[in-house]
Structure 1
């Protein structure tokens, strides 16, 4: 079969190699899946660089999220069991983690419904307890993770302010349904949020960026607001001031979705049922910006790593037309 593999750590575009390899053998409690579509995630770039919290043995195939087909013909979404990831004709996954792909979504959309939307659901609902009528601020609103949070925020009845970088990404954020979009390249984010909320600030901040975005969040979060720390796409891990959180009465919440899969798998299934219902209602629909031919997988991961993309890039197996 064809697979993209990483033999040494480095930038994805340099270290991912397309190779002919044997079909992987599933281990105990695992299943072999025929890959129908594999979503590109920022962790795929971190895996290639050797910077992710999980470091699979070299060589490995990245592609942590996919829509696949089981041996008995079921169409499922899941996370791959590394080192046999989704950028290949076949991948391996834990049988307990298989979730039914929503019929209303095609393979590429279904592949993109999983990690980003699960993260958004747990972050906004379980961690931050977002309520209808509150103001939600989403950083990187045009990206794969941010676009999911925008849609989930709107579905929850929140007023959504999206932050994006540049006119093209700002236009994408508007099309997603943001009530207000702030171009961080051209506007003062803190001042714009304060102006839009009458000086109060955002009740919930969803931050997959870190660095400067977190600094802005702390300055424009409302009284008794919640900042959900999702990741550090900027490459800079902030050092929050607990004194500032104390005097301003806001909460800093961490969100590591993978821990729910490990410690409370039933909640992941419940979340998937809720997401499927929202998809069936048309309230959420993954923003698949590009269906990438298999030959372009390494370039796609590099573009996500460089932060030049909007929405989701989804890699299709050899022989599947974009």
Structure 2
């Protein structure tokens, strides 16, 4: 089978496409023919050895995929050959076939395409877990989304809107904010030109945001924290800015704020049943037409280097999909 391989840490151009032996399903496992897989920002890091996971060589990037079950091992009853499925793995999906535990697969409704399903697990899964499982977001509350046009930022705007929240999208340019408005953001802040804390206060009538969704980190985190409401919730998603902020705990005390860590990958392992429920909810929203994930581009596997370079250059709006 064809696979994209990282044989040593380096740049996207160092990746190679080779023919390797296909997998065989053992007990409790399934082989899935990959129809589509997705790339995320962390894929640009894992091939450089800069990510929290450092797989043994050679490995394939890509952590989420969708396809058709081609074979199952003994003891498998949750999926069958021919089922359309989606799944998540820490790495290894950028190839024609993947081997995975059958319990990690979720069946796809007929109305959901492989391209869309392949891009749901990481960004949308992280966001639904953050809002539903960590922040207990309620309809009518106000959510401030930092980095609102990026991968998880896009998902954060869309899902908060579906859940009935009022979204304030925060980003660094007007074109990014226009994209966020097209996704359902009611209000926007350009924090390259406006003082984030002051504008969040103004747009919420002095109350502050009920929930802050922060995948960016850096200097804006403290500003957003200072603009939360009484007993607001601050969701720590990631640090795309490259700087991990140090938060003064007196702000947390004085505002009664909950600072909530969102480590979706660990949550998937610790609560697989909860992860499955969240994936099924996302798929239902897609099938109902409530959730319409934006796909930035679809590339053949052979153009993975170009796709990763687009992501690294911050040129992407939405998901980047590969078709092996």
TM-score in terms of structure 2 length: 0.91
Match of 2:73 in 1: none
- Residue 76 of structure 1 contacts residue 101 of structure 1 at CA under 8 Å; is this kept in 2? yes
Residue 265 of structure 1, aligned match among 267, 272, 276: 272
Residue 102 of structure 1, aligned match among 90, 106, 109: 109
Q: Which runs of 5+ in 2 are unaligned?
A: 71-80
Match of 2:36 in 1: 37
Q: CA deviation at 1:66?
A: 0.6
Q: CA deviation at 1:190?
A: 2.2
- Residue 15 of structure 1 contacts residue 48 of structure 1 at CA under 8 Å; is this kept in 2? no
Residue 251 of structure 1, aligned match among 250, 258, 268: 258
1:31 is paired with a residue of what secondary structure? strand
Match of 2:83 in 1: 74
Match of 2:18 in 1: 19
Q: CA deviation at 1:25?
A: 4.1
Once the two structures are superposed, residues 75-110 of structure 1 have per-residue CA deviations (whole angstroms, 9 ceiling, x without a partner) of: 11101364xx22111222221100012322211111
Match of 1:320 in 2: none
Match of 1:90 in 2: 97
Match of 2:315 in 1: 308
Once the two structures are superposed, residues 148-200 of structure 1 have per-residue CA deviations (whole angstroms, 9 ceiling, x without a partner) of: 11111011111001112323222211110100122233333222211111122
Match of 2:74 in 1: none
2:47 is paired with a residue of what secondary structure? helix
Separation of aligned partners in 1, 2:46 and 2:284: 32
Q: CA deviation at 1:267?
A: 0.8
User: Which has the higher mean CA deviation after the structures are superposed, 134-143 or 18-27?
Assistant: 18-27
- Residue 291 of structure 1 contacts residue 316 of structure 1 at CA under 8 Å; is this kept in 2? yes
Match of 2:204 in 1: 197
Counterparts of 1:189-228 in structure 2, within 5 Å, are: 189-228=196-235
Q: 1:235 to 1:14 in 2, by over 3 A?
A: farther
Separation of aligned partners in 2, 1:212 and 1:21: 46
Q: Which runs of 5+ in 1 are unaligned?
A: 318-322
TM-score in terms of structure 1 length: 0.92
Match of 2:130 in 1: 123
Q: CA deviation at 1:205?
A: 0.7
Match of 1:8 in 2: 8
- Residue 4 of structure 2 contacts residue 301 of structure 2 at CA under 8 Å; is this kept in 1? no
Residue 142 of structure 2, aligned match among 135, 147, 150: 135
- Residue 151 of structure 1 contacts residue 283 of structure 1 at CA under 8 Å; is this kept in 2? no
Q: Is 1:284 aligned to 2:291, yes or no?
A: yes
